[in-house]
Amino acid sequence: MGGPTGKECRVLERIGSPRDLRGLTYPELSELSSEIRDFLVDNVSRTGGHLGPNLGVVELTIGIHRVFESPHDSIVFDTGHQSYVHKLLTGRQDFSSLRRRGGLAGYPARQESVHDIVENSHASTALSWAAGIARGHTLRGETGRTTVAVIGDGALTGGMAWEALNSLGDSRDRVVVVVNDNGRSYAPTIGGLARKLDGIRIDRRYEDFLGWGKRTFENRGRLRNFAYLSVMHGKRALKGLLTDPGVFSDLGLKYIGPIDGHDLRHVETALAQARDFGGPVIVHVLTEKGRGYIPAEQDAADRFHAVGQIHPETGLPIEASRFGWTSVFADEIVEIAQERPDVVALTAAMLAPVGLQPLADRYPERVIDVGIAEQHAVTSAAGLAYAGLHPVVAVYATFLNRAFDQVLMDVALHRAGVTFMLDRAGITGDDGPSHNGMWDMALLRHVPGLRLAAPRDEPTLRSALRDAIEVDDAPTVVRYPKGAVGAPVPALRRVGDLDVIAEHGDNPRVVVVGLGSMATTAVGAAEKIAADGFATLAATATWVHPVPEGLEELIAGADLVVTVEDGLTDAGIGEEWAAYARLAGVRAEWAHHGVPREFLQHATRAQIVDDLGLDPSAIADATLARLEQD
């Protein structure tokens, strides 16, 4: 076996593909489950990653691979962060470089295995994928193939999942939808669906009956075991009488469950029934996020949804996290809310990750968690603005992509005063292609009336948030990166709405503009260019779109303007500024540095920055080469 585990994995070492699972006895499978949990804790504690979700799906994933034949049967995960066990069972047991360059991705990846299908780790998409795959099999006459979609109850709060369920209910394609119900997405799942599932999950009449059946019949001889299995097979009818799971059956979908997701026999029985039905079936499986690892089980916030490097014995971080950009927002929004009772906040199932937990603790009625439903969050924010409030929508930058139409048609068209706080903007790195927040500036600069800020440090983030909330007739966006906040980057002087942050000589021949977190890169590059004998100036702006006032004055007389941003180079902010300057008759040449229009594979942020030539030395070298050509 590949990566170090620190513990013997006697059964796991025998698993090279899903076929190897089918020859194991149930005692061996129980041992395998324990070994997998030990493996995950030991390895993920070294690399960081999504620990809690995978501890909760061990038996469920084993059962899926014993009942279905991947890749003949397609298995789709929603979201992909619960696929670590799937990776282990499909021959990928070197986790020593998980989410690091050259190692396993943190989500399914087609280049790793034929067993991986959907790489996009954005939630609520798997059911649509499954519907399309299954219909494709039907149309091709491949009636012996089943498509399995594993979706968490949190992802079911996304509207796209229900669009797919509506479609599946009108089909006869072979689709098994496994609802992994642990009552949580990041934090506990909220909303009407969560209450409905809770009602099924915790109905005492149902649980009492099943408990009596287990005590009376299970493991009491062949006849009683048969009676117990008969009870389990018939519990769907019982559940229908006691708990009314009509939320699924009313859509025309067969429903099995709820099933104890940590009882492998019951999981396999339910999955086999669903497979053999030959049409769309919901299998409702109850699991415990973080199961088997006490620190995760006792973590009330998110059951160790995602961790950095931790001490496996205690779950405590090896290095304390530094004060980050998210913490700055969390602190400032509380202060603003104390001053302005009209300010409310929304998020999409990420209350703590985006920094809204302190505000929710202080003013719970003024924080709305809509579940994994970014489109709904944005349009309902427009409604809040119409009602006289100022909504602040806090999401990861990559997830606002999903609600672009709502930003355009519901917020901007209606001139709604909505502020968007985009966390993890720019290059994020180890979560891979779907999580880099590199698309926002290129997309949003085309929205009429929208104003966009890219603060460079803590003071400018605080001021940008306050400025944004003062705008009541247009959308405002404030973007900031993942991680720790660096030292303040003070302005030496201002030129209109631009800040000069470094000057080397008079009458600069080169102006280096760094946007947002790349402001410090501009300072470093300017210093290196100046060391080669060129008068150089470094500048930035907090509000980068529309083009800030003073740009023409700032670059007047310069031969070359260099822009550096952590968003797309094509159609980015640098290109917008250059087009504006050319129309204004400014003669300077321009050079743009940013992210190419391609998906970035997982690596550290520093590695990606180095690869793209976005470090100060690379910017300086490219600039000097350009100057020598001129």
What are the residue numbers of the active site?
289, 374, 402
From the list 114, 111, 141, 116, the residue with the least C-alpha distance to 126 is 116
340, with CB counted inside 10 A (0-12, 13-18, 19+), is: middle
8 Å CB contact between 257 and 284: yes
Residue labelled with tokens 């001021």: 463
Do you know the residue count of the chain? Answer: 630
Q: DSSP assignment, residue 548?
A: P
Phi and psi angles of residue 281, each rounded to the nearest 5 degrees, phi first: -140, 140
Burial 238-252 (b: 16+ CB within 10 A, else e): bbeebbebebbeebe
Report how many helices (DSSP H) and strands (DSSP E) the chain contains, helices first: 25, 18
**DSSP result, 54-122:** HHTTHHHHHHHHHHS-TTTSEEEEESGGG-HHHHHHTT----TTTTSTTS--SS--TTT-TT-------
Pick left, alpha or beta for residue 496 (phi over 0 → left; psi -120 to 50 → alpha; otherwise beta).
left
Strands 536-540 and 498-504: antiparallel
H or E element at residue 352: none
8 Å CB contact between 286 and 258: yes
Q: DSSP assignment, residue 412?
A: I
| Preceding peptide of 546 cis, ω within 30° | yes
8 Å CB contact between 485 and 324: yes
Q: How far apart are the first and last CA of the chain?
A: 57
597-602-604-607 Cα dihedral, nearest 10 degrees: -50
CA distances from 196 to 166, 248, 292, 371, 552 (A): 18, 11, 27, 14, 59
8 Å CB contact between 231 and 29: no
Residue labelled with tokens 């669906």: 193
Strand locations in 342-418, DSSP E?
343-347, 367-369, 390-396
Q: DSSP assignment, residue 19?
A: G
Distance of CA 430 to the CA centre of its chain: 12
Distance of CA 129 to the CA centre of its chain: 18
